[in-house]
Amino acid sequence: MKSYDPVIANIIADCQEAARDRSRLASATDGEFSINRREFLNRLAVGVGGIGGALSTLPAFAQLSSGQLQTDVTEAVPLIPVVEAIGKEVWKDNQLDEGAVSELFDQAMMKLTGRPSAKEAWRDIVLPDDIVGIKINPLGGPELSTHSIIIDKIIEGLYSAGVLHKQVIIWDRFEEHLLNAGYPIRPDEGDVRTLASDTEGIGYDDEVFYESEKDSITRRENESTLSRYSRIVTQMVDVLINVPVLKHHEMAGVSGCLKNLAFGSVDNTRRFHGKPLYCNPAIAEILEHKVVQEKLVLNIVDGLVASFDKGPTYHAESTWKYGSLFVSTDPVILDVLVLQTINQKREEMELDSVSKFSNHISTASALGLGTNTLDEADLQKVEI
């Protein structure tokens, strides 16, 4: 990476400011997500049945023209399918075992859909003529970004469902971050493309934007109250697969599905970082736009390596080899899982919970982007 990255520099400065502000809030009580992860898992284990049964008895997951999984309103609403895939063997001698990761990924997709093979599972997610945008998170560099093996497995699954390589775009906002994370820019339309919103010829859509004055005036780009959506989202893809990293975020508490896709899809985002908003309600309101909401078909949280502190940038002392994936069509409930996982790790490290800083999760639920209600989740486990 170049010696000075203004985006990273601004993130670090904003995080440092947030840390100073929050040191004065240390005595505040946790909010809505104060339930610890052990209790969460116990409640789910007792309270819900298997995803396979739900799929076999309810025709709830119909593949529409967009490829999105939606519920049939004439039937009782099922629990939200969520898979926690735990890879006990994916790390060997500090190296990822690609075979174990591949098996873990396939088993997670089969468990999510109730299908007997990964190929059939992917046919429930996408249609052969879909142009698929895979939104990764490359901000943490080579150590804490979306792993390429996960992206390779997604592309393999898409291809098995009839989606050609030339119909796939791996993307993020900034070329520099993609390059630093090991994703070379590939604009060739004959194969899988890797693009950024700041790639020449891409840019942002002047006709599709999020407008808000709920921000920090001094952090606005060109004094604008508009955040324009990337043309990758508005014009280039039919469906979106969201692949964030499981990590802490100094301003938003956690960086999971919601923040990765929201702030990765628009420009002029730094204005939402400052106090007292700390990214809320902007994250949820950006995702509420139909150009994102109607295209999002799957979320896969990369927890092979995770961070519990000092995020969103990489710090060796605050990461651990978690070796897990979270998978669901619902980004909100996955962020609840991300939050619980980070809080549990922070408890082990004798650090405070970050629940009170993750208000964007409940805001997203209130806007109908998913559920943050634990009893509405059907959590299934896969262990490899």
| pLDDT score at 42 | 44
The total of other beta-carbon atoms located within 10 Å of residue 29's CB is: 8
Tell me whether strands 193-196 and 168-172 are parallel, antiparallel or unpaired: parallel
Q: Is residue 378 pLDDT above 50, yes or no?
A: yes
| pLDDT score at 26 | 52
3-state secondary structure of 285: helix
Q: Lowest mean pLDDT of 43-57, 183-197, 269-283, 334-348, name the range.
A: 43-57
pTM over 0.75: yes
Contact 83, 298 (CB under 8 A): no
| pLDDT score at 298 | 98
| pLDDT score at 30 | 43
| pLDDT mean over 327-342 | 98
User: What's the mean pLDDT when you consider all of the chain?
Assistant: 87
| pLDDT score at 228 | 98
Tell me whether strands 168-172 and 132-136 are parallel, antiparallel or unpaired: parallel
Say which residue, 36 or 61, is predicted with more confidence: 36
Among 86, 360, 368, smallest CA distance to 249 is for 360
Rg (CA), the chain: 19
**Long-range contacts (CB closer than 8 Å, 24 or more residues apart) made by 166-169:** 166/190, 166/191, 166/192, 166/193, 167/129, 167/130, 167/131, 167/132, 168/131, 168/132, 168/134, 168/192, 168/193, 169/131, 169/132, 169/133, 169/134, 169/193, 169/194, 169/195, 169/232, 169/236, 169/237
| pLDDT mean over 234-240 | 98
The total of other beta-carbon atoms located within 10 Å of residue 288's CB is: 17
Q: Cβ neighbours of residue 42 under 8 Å, at least 6 residues apart?
A: none
Residue 210 backbone phi and psi in degrees, to 5: -110, 125
In the chain, the percentage of residues whose pLDDT exceeds 90 is 78
Helix (H) or strand (E) holding 379, with range, is: strand 377-383
| pLDDT score at 7 | 81
Scan for tokens 């895979």, then name that residue. Answer: 134
120-159 pLDDT, tens digit each: 999 999 999 999 999 999 999 999 999 999 999 999 999 9
31-47 pLDDT, tens digit each: 444 344 444 444 433 33
Q: Is residue 11 pLDDT above 50, yes or no?
A: yes
Omega before 276 within 30 of 0, i.e. cis: yes
| pLDDT score at 40 | 42
- C-alpha 162/C-alpha 227 separation (Å) is 35
